[in-house]
A and B are shown apart, each in its own frame.
Chain A
């Protein structure tokens, strides 16, 4: 209904002592406990926490959309002063999508694949307001240009799969905005997107907030994003808010040990694997039905005091002199952070050895045969996808080489060629002195295979669910011929479990009995079973929670150091790369655009793409000042890459026709720092740093 009450001036949303439970076969499981929040008009609140902390449940409860087995068991949700619990289904239906709109994580899953985008957009006003098709169409068109989508008419007439992921998410946001809602709930809206696309969406969300005066609840696991989008933040842990307040206060003067721990886990600028290593939070998140008494963070906290912290009835206490800043901790006033020196997991400096792996102009093209009739008539049946183009790089013993790039840049193809799952189209790949470019894995000797192994990305997929952890490790040991005797193999399995710091009785467990981080540890143990000289890690921690990420990264570096392994670290997370890599290779559409030592790549001169990537990474540090560079347009398709410099279609420093027609020369600056760009040397060298610190960086170890 168009009768929206815009004269209301009180808080848009209030949650008072909200308790939410799920009812399962195992009984009642409290998902969110004692949740309080007040959202004023035009403000935005961030909910941040690791998986399973209840942040999405809060969003669903606000919509009163908890499914069959969820219920609000205590407290109230007040929307513009009205208790949501008293509303009828019909009133709720009017509210949802009209006054309260939601944006979900997976844009492809939120759009109906069998309807045109225009029809889906028009549904919103047609359903909620008494208007005609024509007006609905005009409104939809208008909103599409408001979310900065190029060619809105075309977008209106196509189906979801015909636009890119970033565009899909913009359409979803447009749909949420169509009815001019008073409250926008965003549940990890950029998690599925690439960093440069994410930067665009974040900028858009910021514009919307100021233009429409919409109040927002922004849910994320990424502290950096919260800093960029929100005024206030609630840090959640295992169903409770442990700390809440203005973003600046919480980020600069955090009081709760968990918040402190969370910041210690993320690689902020200034963290360094040798001097200031990351500090993982020990233990793991308690399951909802196994929460400890008193403070839920107790068992993982360094300041736990028996008899005090495990007493029930823990409430939020306000921090004096900082209005609105509350902490759920009994000891926060006693803790002296200046003397707190937690032990980090770093590796210390390593000395790079001889060259182990050397790629020389390696190329990998895939052939695609087009069987359509049109292709048969025109005769252009075979097309080439240039997944990797002229890759040249060296990796030395005990060195970490990071391969950085967004989806479709050819990182995975690169890994496949190294592992022998694909053979190179051209060029050489020297591994321990032998050219393995044309050697499939079956043609390699067990020693060769064992000395180059891989750590995979998805912890839920990396282990075979049908076999026990022990038998999977034993198979690898037997396959690589490390041991042949049955008892010796078992002993080696135990040693591997020790190596990745897992209890020995995990050997007989099934993968589903392990947490994500534990599975990833087993994956690392498997990769190191054959005493490899090189390990390729494909986004090994990107699917893990922040606190677990730090521990797994630390473990990986630790093992790498003691075995002097070469680590090829494939990642899109530039903060992590800066933290652990010795050298960085930046890829875009199958080409290496820049490579050099970590310091060289992260400081000017940059390749324009590296510059944009660096600017896009959200950093959870209030003292960091960034130059904003938002890349326009979409990632071009690999089947039809742009001519000349592949980056020219999106390049903010595009200089003219030369970029379109000629492949850029590789400019060598200093020792091994190479940039493939047409920009004149003088201009490259006059670049300013993207990230600068306004004051000394804050890390837990530094205080």
Chain B
């Protein structure tokens, strides 16, 4: 064989390009597109927060200004009004998106990094490994989630890192179960037998032969889970277990102003809209991904 013959074979396209092509398929589902637009909107807001926000997030002005009211010096408008301390609600929502979009993906990623190996090991090795891991998972899953969060945060304190730890601890068992279920099916494929008959190591089989084929359902699940984590972060903020004040936090904003929410509902409603639009975005994106992946 000549060298030219080898060189004539084009290189395979980069995995980045293939991923982008896969993502482009979402255009075929309008539900998915709506979700993607919502999510990208908040990503954009988070990235350009300092440019978009009319006020610094912790700057105080006239308290309880109604939406559309002018600022103290009259140079700008509080489009969504101010809270009890006179902080601009729009600006706090804009800056709050940074917190959510940092910690929610980080926590989800950590949960997957723990859950996937557990699920792979349980599903592929079966036997005692499976029994032990499944038992641990079942114990954790048997706690009411909220109680679990409160216990963890109350023990280790409220901070961004601890939210990540708490979410990882509470979500990893669920992820483990999904991965385990997928592996139980995939481990009986003939390409896995082929890998076994050539003496591949178990972890190589799990990570190279099995895991890539489970990616479809896992990507959809990750999207849904991101939405849940956004809710969780909001809930923790509302319970005062979220990010410490005075940094803006959507859940915290609802909670801080709940005494006046009866008379001035906008103060609580706007952060709520922010939370639900982001969660809706993730859920619709997940639906779209599922729809696209089920075709063909």
Q: Is B9 an interface residue (CB 8 A)?
A: yes
Contacts of A114 in B (CB 8 A): none
Residues 175-213 of B at the A interface (beta carbon under 8 Å):
189-191, 193-194, 196-200, 208-209, 212-213
Query: How distant is A436 from chain B, measured CB to nearest CB, in Å?
Result: 13
Q: Is the CB of B191 within 8 A of A462?
A: yes
Which chain A positions have C-beta within 8 A of B128? none
- A703 to B12 alpha-carbon distance, docked (Å): 49
Cross-chain contact of B189 among A461, A471, A498 (Cβ < 8 A)? A461
> How many of A's residues come within 8 Å of B, CB to CB?
41
Cα distance A466–B9 in the bound complex, in angstroms: 20
Contact indicator A466/B212 (Cβ below 8 Å): yes
Q: At the interface, yes or no: A336 with Cβ under 8 Å from chain B?
A: no
Residues of A within 8 A of B208 (CB): 467
Residue of B at shortest CB range from A495? Answer: B1
Which residues in B have their C-beta under 8 angstroms from that of A456? 190, 193-194
In A526-582, the 8 Å CB interface with B consists of: 526, 530
- Would you call A458 and B190 a contact (CB within 8 A)? yes
Give the shortest distance, in Å, between B267 (CB) and chain A (any CB): 48
Kindly supply a per-residue 1/0 record for chain A positions 461-483, scoring 1 wherever the CB is within 8 Å of any chain B CB and 0 otherwise: 11111111011000010011000
Number of inter-chain CB pairs below 8 Å: 77
Say yes or no for A380: interface residue by CB 8 A criterion: no
- CB-based contact A449/B197 at 8 Å: yes
Tell whether, in the assembled complex, residue B12 and residue A494 are in contact, meaning their CB atoms are under 8 Å apart.
no
* B contact residues around A57 at 8 Å (CB): none
Contact between B5 and A494 (Cβ–Cβ < 8 Å)?
yes
The answer to the question of A312 belonging to the interface, with a C-beta cut-off of 8 Å to chain B, is no
In the complex, per-residue mask of B207-241: 1 if CB is within 8 Å of any chain A CB, else 0: 01100110100000000000000000000000000
Evaluate contact between A504 and B199: CB separation under 8 angstroms: no
Binds B, one of A39-47, A165-173, A440-448: A440-448
A419 to B190, CA, bound (A): 14
Which residue of B is nearest A476, CB measured?
B198
User: Which residues of chain A come closer than 8 Å to B21, judged between CB atoms?
Assistant: none
- CB of A276, distance to nearest CB on chain B (Å): 33
- Closest Cβ of chain B: how far from A108's Cβ, in Å? 18
Find out whether the CB atom of B9 lies under 8 angstroms from the CB atom of A465. no
Given contacts A494-B5, A504-B5, contact A462 B190 (CB under 8 A): yes
**Residues of chain A in range 490-508 having any CB-CB distance to chain B below 8 Å:** 490-491, 494-495, 498, 504-505, 507-508
B10 interfacial contact with A, CB 8 Å = yes
Q: Which residue of B lies closest to A454 (CB)?
A: B197
Minimum C-beta distance from B50 to chain A (A): 42
Contact A480 B198 (CB under 8 A): yes
Shortest B96–chain A CB gap in Å is 39
Residues of chain A whose beta carbon lies under 8 Å from any beta carbon of chain B: 25, 419-421, 441-442, 444, 446, 449-450, 453-454, 456-458, 461-468, 470-471, 476, 479-480, 487, 490-491, 494-495, 498, 504-505, 507-508, 523, 526, 530
12 more A-B contacts (CB under 8 A) besides A420-B197, A449-B198, A487-B6?
Answer: A420-B199, A441-B199, A442-B199, A449-B199, A456-B193, A461-B190, A462-B190, A463-B191, A468-B12, A494-B6, A507-B9, A508-B12
